[in-house]
Structure formats: C-alpha cells, structure tokens
Structure 1
Amino acid sequence: MYFDNDIIAAQATPPGESAIAIVRMSGAGSMKVLRKCILDFSGSISPRRTALVRLGDEKGEIDQAVVIYYQSPKSYTGEDLIEVHCHGGEYIAGRVLNLLFEKGARPAEPGEFTFRAFLNGKMDLTEAEAVADIIAAESEAGRRNALMQLYGGLTETIKGIREDILNVLAEVEAEIEFPEDEPVEIDYSGWKSRLLKAGERVRKIIEIGELGKPVREGFRVTIAGPPNSGKSTLLNALLGEDRAIVHPAAGTTRDVLRESTQIGGIKVWLNDTAGLRERAEEVEAEGIERARKEMTTSDLVVYLFDLGIGLNEENARDYYHKKHILAGNKVDLYSDGEVKCDIKISALRGDGLEELKGMVVERALGGRLESGVIANERHLKLLRRADDCIMEAVKSVESERETEIIALEMREALNALGNIIGEGVTEEVLEKIFSRFCIGK
C-alpha cells in the first residue's frame, strides 16, 4: 500500500483528551475531499493560510475547525497536504477522520507521510529514519544525534565518500575504454592511496556507530554487591527519587528492580539486585541467581561494597570477569580506610555521585567517542559491506588485476553506500523501515 497514489489521512496528534487534535491528509485531490466535508463555505482556501470552517455531512455539523492547505510541492510530503485542527478528544478527532474516509481518503499506514516525503525527494532515507528517531528519542544525546542526522550529517559524509570512489572509478573505466594495443600508464599507486583513504572514512563512521550504541539503545548498568552495602540507596540517589525499599535488615531486595534515567544525556537502565552471598534461604537464593544473570548480560556492573567491611575473595569472584566500577560505599562513616577501589562514595549523603556518573558515561562511550552522527544497525551493516568491497578493490589494485574486476568491486561499494541514503533500496526494505514509524507521521 505504500507505493499507491491514494489520498491518505491519519491523526497526527496522540489520542486522548486535549485542547486541539490535528488530522492530516495528503495526496493529489486532497482539497476536493476537504471541500466535500465543509458545510456552507464559499470562500477560497489559500496555501499556507488558515481558514475557519464547519465540518460535517448530510446528517449535520461535526465540529468547527481550522484548516491549513500546503500546496504541492511545498509541503512535508511533496504532495497537496491538508491539516485539520479540530477540538481535541478521541471522539471528535475520530469523527473528523471517518468523515475524510467517507469522502475519499483511506487510512494511512505507519510512516506513510514520511515515506511519501522520501519518494518525492523531500528527504533521503537517512533523514527519514531520523524523523522516527527524533520521535522515539529517550535521551538528550539521542535527540541531538537524530537531529544531526535529520539535517544531513550522515548523508553529506556518505556522499563525500561516494564522490571520492566515483572519481577513482571514472579513471578505472577510462582505462577500460582504451584499445589493448595502445600502451597506457595505469596509476595503480594513486588508485590504491585514494581507495585506502575512502576505506578509512568508512571505518571511522563504523567506529563511531559501534562506540555510540548506548546513545541509540541505552546503557544497561547493574548495581551489585554484598547484602546491606547500600545498593538500593544508590539506585534511589541516581534516580533522584525513592523507588527501592531501603531497610537495615540484610536481604530486603529479593528481585531485580529495573528503572531508567538519564546520565550525561544518555539513557541508562539501572538494575538494583539482591545482595550476593553464598548462604541464603530459598527465596533469597533465587534473587541472588537473578542478580548474577543480570551481571552477565548488562553492559556495566557497579559493584558496591561497605568500606567498613572491605572486600574478600568471595566478592572478587562476583565482579572480576565483567566490565565494572568497584565502588566503596559509606565514605561518610569510614573516610580513613586504605581499601583500594575505583571510587569512594556515600550513596546516602551524595559524596562522589557526580564523579560516579561521569565514570558510567565514560564506560558507556569508551572515552573515545568523537563528534559525528551515530549510524544505526542498518547503516553499519551496509558500511561493513562497503568497507569489504573497498578493501577487495585495494587488493586487486595491488595485484594489478584486470581493470574490469577493480571497477566491479568499486561499484559494489558504491551500491552499499547508496543503499544507506536510499538509492537502489528494495520495496521490502523500505516497508520494513517505515513500518516502525507511528501512524500520522
């Protein structure tokens, strides 16, 4: 259905009670459909001007609304697009939407408005994906990255790399055109140097994408440690609210408590777990087993221990195999201890918490994340494919193989890079990408 030319309509605002709801309609003939829905209105509706109208049918008036007409091609979709600003509430918006359906529109598929914007050249595929990322952003870093991608940050980089490869390809193909009996000095060394530089640029995007996964997907942190070390207190302190029960009795936490927050602009999932010890009754033992599982699947373990008690070999077995921050708690009570750890904090009083947050962000981003758009998994897969093809072309150049083979490998790299921005992408891939959008966008 994404590839037909029907008039589509959907509610653009979330369902529920509100002052105003917005219903969108796009496609050639949208104004004719709107005219059929307007009662007693003989005036003109000019592009990019508001018009107050009464909407209804032969049964009577449904609502008084403000409509805005965006004439093709100067609209979000590149088609004639109309926004109906009616009174909020599911019932009124639903009636308006059904009226549009009765007069000739059909329900829009998820992301179909943005899909049409892509088809009509209003944005490329990476920019269209960025629209969905902005809507789904759950952290400041995620929002910034999506906005950078929407403004063409990734597109311009990809186009620049493709341009470099195309320039080499043009020279390679020019060599193919020369007759075999005409001697030509082939610049294998120059081709190799330029292809290697293109490959380096591709790998830099891959590196940023892999290091920046926490920005897109969130970072999972498990707070673990012995009973009564202050894990639940630390969770509450990092969240800024009381979510976990804190009690002086050991073994209060029996299950994994999972909450999310932002630390340094990154979405972080925090897991509070049962205290780790060898001997425990049956229910507590189950909680300890779940805690150990969380430690193995999380991105980082903050292993918390009581500075007044210290660490022993049993503690070391719990964290040494995992990427971790070893944090000594209750520094407000035991400030003079010589216990070695990564950081000393007071979860109760807040000492060292900002430094701990900084350490979490550093672990999340590897401390090496440079500026640039963070590619998603689809992009990374295609970038790896492009890198492989570029390196195959380099090997062929080094071996001074036939120029036809070198050109073929370079075209494969260009195809992979083109797929990132939407060139040569199959209908199946496009429908998969746009199906994750919300309806009305």
Structure 2
Amino acid sequence: MRSVDVARTALGNTFRSKLRTALTVVAIVIGAFTLTLTSGLGAGVNKYVDNVVAGFGDSSQMFVLKAGSAEAETEGPAEYDPEAAAGSSGMFGPGTGGDVLTESDIENIEDIDNVSAVDPVVVVSADYLENSAGDQYALTLDSPANALGLELEAGETPGDDGMDLSVPAEWLTVFDAEDAEQVIGETVEIGVSNVTGEQSTVEAEIVGVTEEALSGIGATPMPSRELNQELYDLSMEGYQGEAQDAYSMAVVDVDDLEANEQGVKDALSEEELLGMTVEDQIGAIQGVIDAVSWVLSGFGLIALLAASFGIVNTLLMSVQERTREIGLMKALGMSSGKVFGLFSMEAVVIGIMGSVIGVGLGVAAGLIGNGWLTGEGGPLGEVAGLTLFAVDPMALLGITALIVVIAFLAGTLPAARAAKKDPIEALRYE
C-alpha cells in the first residue's frame, strides 16, 4: 500500500465513528482556539508596545531627569488663574520650579564614563492658551522630542518649522467643536511670562488633534520645535547678563547600554539625577503581557493534554473494533510498519482537523473582538493606536504543527498495539 493510499484509507476510517471522532476533535479545537487567541493577543499588544517604545526614542538611549521630578496629572484643561500662576515662578522662569537640569548637570553627565553624547531638552513653561473667543486656559506643554509617539485623530504632527501646535482630543470643548477636523487651522494665542513677570503672547496654528497613548504622550498640547524655542526665548528675557539654560531632561547615548547601564545609573544617582531606559518605562507593561500570555497558554496546553487522551481512547477502541480487519490486512501481506502508519495517520488526521478548525475560529474571534473593543465606540476605543489582536502567520503554523505532533504521539500507543497483532489470532477474534 502506497503512502497516498494509507492517507486516503486513514481519512475514511476516521469517520467510521462520527460522534466519537467529533468529540475528540472538539477537545482539540478548544486547545487550538485558546492558543490562537493567546498568540494573537501577545502579538497585538506587543505591537502596540513597540509603537509606544518608538515614541520614547531609541532603545539604546537613556533619559535623565532631576531626581524627584514628576508631572502633575490633570483631567482636561483648567481655566487660567493669573494670581496662582504669579506665585509659581522658579529660578528659571514661571512654572519651572526647581526640578530642572542645569548646564552644570549636563556637564556632569558628559563626564560620566561610557556616555558618548548628551542632548538636553529645553524647558518651556507657558502660562495659558487663549482661544478665538478670548477664553484663557492653563497650559502645560509636552516636549517636541516626543513627537514620534503622537497618535493623531486628525491633522498632522507639529514639525521643526512653523508656529504649529497639536492639542488633545479632550480639548475640543475649548473650541466648541465636536469634530477634530473643525479645529485644524484654528489660530490661538499662547501667553508666557519672563523672570520679571512680564507676559508676552505668541500666535500659533493648530495643525493636529491627538489621542492619549498608553505612554501618556498626546495628553497635553505639543509645540513644534520652532514654537518651543520661541516660547523659551521669551521666558528667558529679563536676566541681567547671560541667562542660564534649564532643561526638563537630557537624552543620553551610552556605549554598550546593556553592559554599562547600571554603572551609568549609579554615577547619575551620585549627582542626584535619575536615569531611565525605554525598558524601565515600559517594563511593567511587558511583565503583565507576558504573565497573561503564559496563563492563557497554560489553559490551551491543558486542553490539548485532555484531547490527547481522547485521541488515545478513540484509536484504542478503533483497534479493538477492527481486530479482524487488521488480521486480514496482515494476512494479505501488509507489514506491521504499514499498519502502524495507518493508525498513526488517523491520529494525525484528527489533529489536523481540530487544529485547522480551532485556529480558524480563534483568528475570527480575535479579529471580531479586536474590532469591537478597540473600534470607535468600543470599551477601549479611546486608547489611541491600541491593537489587542494581531495575526502572526508563523505562530499559527507553529500551533498547528504542535497539535499535529501531539496527535501523532498520542496515536503511537494504539498504532503500536495494532501493529503487534498476530494475524491468525486477529482473524479468530469475535
């Protein structure tokens, strides 16, 4: 009997007991379905995390802040209070406080071993944003260095040139707009105070409306680099002599970051500075993703283990029922190896059917669920750029191959028992 004949015969024999085979296939489908969802969830969320990482910068860089620096969390724009703003001036201008990096800090960072480059990010402290109706709202600006991480609902990302500004989607109420496209092209005035308390204004054009990403980027307005520099220059006016620059943070390139990370962090700590890598900022997220993936994968493997016993039971009963048939095949010259291959192939057919159905249902459920949960109006629709499920063809092939291997291994016991049957005794079996 040729291999093709063995496969054709195995396929036909699989459906001799339809109910028994169907129940075994269902068990495999459950395992394949679970593993497919797990794989898709891991691929989808990790894809989103990769986008978040891109917003933070290069994974070989370290981000340095003054120890104890923290950003206040707010919900939506607050109305501007001139009296409260007047008392918030720091040594580098209103609103900066003392948690900034100075030129001395930058020089200390540059002197640390294995630090190859330092790119300081300038501090900008604006007072308010004024809309066309004359209403003023307290304003905190994000750094243009975070522009790569913006998730846009409308418009474009502020670039290097031009007095451009992006605003969060929740600021639409400031402009009495319901649709993000309505505020694109809107002209606003930004107020900024210098060290003497004198206020100046700068006109800016809204070019983008952003959604808040998981990293927090997009939750506050972001200026273009030119607008950012203009506001900074205005805030530094009034110093007697040369003004001292202040920086919100510094982006540091470290030679062989993996090997020198801890040494650089320790050196920064001695200078009362805090160094963070991209992995530090997203490590907790990745830990949760990995934990969930392992738990769900465990359920899938348990289901496959139960299914493997179902395959063993199905084929053992098949061997028992077809004892005389096995004896006849061997009496007609079919070798023990061919008999073993026949029953092993039946196990593989069951595994293929269960895996294909389970993987197909898993992909369909994942894509439908992702569209519902992250689409417009869905429970997670407000999380910008979120992808809960992504199709990874290599992972799906791996799941199918794993199930087929498990099915083959489960079928070896009944196949071996069939191959060992004595043809004379088998033909006498009643």
TM-score by length of structure 2 reads 0.23
> Quick check: which one's helix share is greater?
2
TM-score by length of structure 1 reads 0.23
Highest relative contact order (Cα 8 Å, sep 6+), 1 or 2?
2
Q: Which has the larger radius of gyration?
A: 2
